[in-house]
Chain A
Amino acid sequence: MKKSLVYSYIGLVVLTLLVALLASGQLSKMIVTVIVVLSLLKFWLVGFEFMELKKAHSFWKVLLLGFGVLIGFLFVVLL
């Protein structure tokens, strides 16, 4: 439990720096997609690890996963 929180935090910071670095170059459709996917990974890490959604009923998990997939898909399509 303790370690999974620390690993999640390190992962979140690394992903944040990675997306900032990726966005500093030319933004192709591919890069936009990668940034959106990595941002969603961070979104879900916070939900499942920090908010302990991993312990909740599947209904709440599916809602958060579904919301992320929908908004991420629309971001990629629109941008």
Chain B
Amino acid sequence: MEVNNKSIYYPPGGILIWIVIYLELLTFGMAMLALAYYGSQDRLNYHTDSQLLNKTIATLNTVLLLTSGFLVAKGVHFFKNKLFQKTSNYFLWAMLSGLGFLLLKLVEYYEKLQAGLDMNYSTFYMFYWLLTGFHWIHVLVGLVILGFVRRSVLQKQKKAALEDIEAGAAFWHLCDLIWLLLFPILYLLF
């Protein structure tokens, strides 16, 4: 069935996933604004704490997540053109890229814990652990969803629903969107 994405009720991926996306953005957005507010009250300490973060890993992680998002977008494009094997391959590469993000983040977490920069170290680090931790969980959930979507493409091929594929992809891109705001606010702006 052809879906008219121009209708307010049928954005790409379906209305439900977009409601989830905006609620998630709102929640993370409020937490980031709280971080910015407290940071503006205690600029020097937030600057000192932020300088202890590894910007190289964060930049590399941003590129990894963007690469993954690009591969998923290409995968959806191939699915629409009925190139199912290509869709599956691109989703697999996207998942590996996402896995790279998770592992690199674990390396960063390990570094921080070794340096004693845990959640109780300062308010900045409380925000750091909560925001990046919840984001990490989102990426993990996104990986599982992508895995199911990929399996559905491989098994059902033509019968796999485009809306399901787009919804899975949209959730994955949500992880990109959140990270694209977390990256500057945590690593660059203090």
Please list the residues of chain A having a beta carbon within 8 angstroms of any beta carbon in chain B. 1-2, 5, 8-9, 12-13, 16-17, 19-20, 22-24, 27, 32, 35-36, 39, 42-43, 46-47, 49-53, 55-57, 59-60, 63, 67, 71, 74-75, 78-79
Contact = CB atoms under 8 A, between A and B. Distances in A.
Contacts of A60: 8, 11, 18
B70 A20 contact: no
Interface of A is mostly: helix
Interface stretch (B58-66, B130-138, B145-153): B58-66
Nearest to A46: B176
Interface of B: 5-8, 11-13, 18, 22, 25-26, 29, 32-33, 36-37, 39-40, 55, 59, 62-63, 66-67, 69-70, 72-74, 76-77, 166, 169-170, 173, 176-177, 180-181, 183-185, 187-190
Nearest to A27: B189
Contact of A59 (B8, B66, B72, B185): B8
